[in-house]
Amino acid sequence: MTADAPAPHRATLRIVAALGGNALLRRGEALTAQAQQATIATAAGLLAELVAGGDRLVVTHGNGPQVGLLALQSAAGPAASVLPLDVLGAASEGWVGYALELGLRHALPAGAELVTILTQTVVGRDDPAFDAPVKPIGPVYASGAAHRLALARGWVVAPDGQGWRRVVASPKPLRIVEIATIERLAEAGVIVICAGGGGIPVIEAKDGVLEGIEAVIDKDAASALLAIALKADQLVMLTDVPGVYLDYGTDHQRLIRSASPDALKPHTSAFRAGSMGPKVAAACAFAEATGHVAAIGALADCAGLVAATSGTAIGIGLDLVFA
Ligand code: ADP
Ligand code: MG
């Protein structure tokens, strides 16, 4: 907290806020540095309101479109200099972290301290995800173009919405390498941007030596791991829908206002893999590990999510309530 921040209206919360792709770039919009910066300005303004309330904030973010674009650019160069996904993940953390810092510094009171931590996330060398890529990255293609690229570049492609996208391995995050430093900074009142794109995937040899590996970690799974390790009071996943629905996309969809992890388990298949599935799983993992509440909902409702007046709240013992 900065010296000139207003007195907190309640106990200071330690909040991990996970920004979805839509906080960085509006869905369907072409990825340019300018378009991304313009979208981030809105997200930054909303996050700054949380900080003004006195809460400590750790910010994570996705990187699917960004790492996908960097991969395309890298593949357009000489074959020998094609960069592996861990290196591109690092580049995307730097790029998005910088863009978020610009937006947040503009939105926060003068003197607020913030920093981006280039984060490495340990995954298992034998994670079965390496044999079954599911994480979409980069642009959406028509079927023909996607299959031509798959042949030419050795990609795996899969349907995503109306089109096709490249998919890569998304192993389970096990440990965040810089966690002690992140915790120290957050405790001191520094706003920390970290675990971008789930963190740079690394594997750990028996002697503890870390080595990058080709994958893109799910940012919701990494955010839950981070929030649990930080003993956060709240994990807030900010996306582009008002919350979690049952029968989503049908004319009888129902917004879940609150639920316990146990109440959601029979409905796991209702939350699509690669989008709402990982958010619900992350929320349940956080709630079960900490006893605290995780919230999922629209970025625009950020303050309401923290106050549990909008979105979906997931916590131990919460009744299953629909809007
Ligand atoms: P983010 O970049 O915020 O992680 P995702 O696209 O991964 O965004 O996840 C949000 C999307 O999940 C929504 O736009 C929605 O289309 C989709 N979705 C799938 N199943 C559900 C559901 N049961 N309830 C709400 N949204 C859902
Ligand atoms: Mg997502």
Q: Is any ligand 1 atom within 6 A of the Cβ of residue 241?
A: yes
Of 91, 86, 72, 27, nearest in space to 166 by CA: 72
pLDDT, mean of residues 90-95: 98
Of 216, 95, 72, 227, nearest in space to 153 by CA: 72
**What is the model's pLDDT at position 28?**
83
pLDDT digits (tens, 9 = 90+) for 128-143: 999 999 888 888 899 9
Of 275, 280, 267, 265, nearest in space to 311 by CA: 280
Q: What is the 3-state secondary structure (H, E, C) of 33-45?
A: HHHHHHHHHHHHH
Which H helix or E strand runs over 295?
A: strand 293-298
pLDDT digits (tens, 9 = 90+) for 46-60: 999 988 878 899 999
**What is the model's pLDDT at position 136?**
85
Residue nearest to atom 9 of ligand 1 (CA): 275
DSSP annotation of 76: T
pLDDT, mean of residues 280-307: 97
Q: Rounded to an integer, what distance in angstroms lies between the CA atom of residue 27 and that of residue 104?
A: 21
**What is the model's pLDDT at position 10?**
64
**What is the model's pLDDT at position 119?**
98
Catalytic member of 219, 243, 297, 311: 219
pLDDT, mean of residues 280-306: 97
Quote the ligand 1 centre to 289 CA distance (angstroms).
24
Question: How much of the chain is helix, strand and coil, in % rounded to 5?
Answer: 40, 25, 35
- pLDDT band per the 50, 70, 90 thresholds, residue 3: low
Taking residue 277's Cβ as centre, other Cβ atoms within 10 Å add up to: 16
**What is the model's pLDDT at position 179?**
98
**What is the model's pLDDT at position 9?**
56
Mutate to test the pocket of ligand 1, among 63, 167, 275 (most ligand atoms within 8 A of CB): 275
pLDDT digits (tens, 9 = 90+) for 170-199: 999 999 999 999 999 999 999 999 999 999
With a cut of 80, say whether residue 8 has pLDDT above it.
no
With a cut of 60, say whether residue 1 has pLDDT above it.
no
**What is the model's pLDDT at position 132?**
93
**What is the model's pLDDT at position 300?**
95
Q: Is any ligand 1 atom within 6 A of the Cβ of residue 22?
A: yes
Q: Which residue do the tokens 């995954």 mark?
A: 123
| Structural domains in the chain plus CATH codes | 14-136+168-322 (3.40.1160.10), 137-167 (no CATH)
